[in-house]
Amino acid sequence: MSLLAANPEMSFIEMREGLAMTDGNLSMHLKTLQEVGYVALTKSFQKKKPLTTCSLTGLGKTSFAKYINVLEEIVLQNKPPGKN
């Protein structure tokens, strides 16, 4: 989700190398995210080789932003007073 939040779209291989994950592990994660509607997968061909491209859906972007906000709130709430 973090990778896709920083890029409009990424190939499966770019994501696999960026996350240092195995094909199977990444596929499982993407499948789960696709099922809940956070990620859209597009399959095409580049020079006769299959190319899977992933991108965040609108719902994915909103949910990710909400998640970041929640994390930030937790950090802020527990920060000692007087520190920025």
Partner 1 sequence: MSSESASEHLQVIRTLMERSAYYRRALAPMLCLSGAIGLAGALAACVLKIATHQYFVLFWNCLGILALIGSYFLARKQALKDSEPFWSAPARRVTQALFPPFLTGVFFSLVFGMDSVEPATNLWMLVSGWMICYGCGLHSAGFFTPKGVRWLGLMFVATGIGFYLLASRIPSLQTVEICHYMMGLFFGAGHLLCAGYIWASERRKNAL
CB closer to partner 1 out of 34 and 52: 52
The 3-state secondary structure of the chain, one letter per residue = CHHHHHCCCEEHHHHHHHHCCCHHHHHHHHHHHHHCCCEEEEEEEECCEEEEEEEECHHHHHHHHHHHHHHHHHHHHCCCCCCC
Considering the complex, what minimum distance in angstroms separates the CB of residue 72 from partner 1? 7
Residue ranges binding partner 1 (CB under 8 A): 2-3, 5-11, 13-14, 17-19, 46-47, 49, 51, 53, 68, 71-72, 74-75, 77-79
Considering the complex, what minimum distance in angstroms separates the CB of residue 3 from partner 1? 4
Considering the complex, what minimum distance in angstroms separates the CB of residue 7 from partner 1? 4
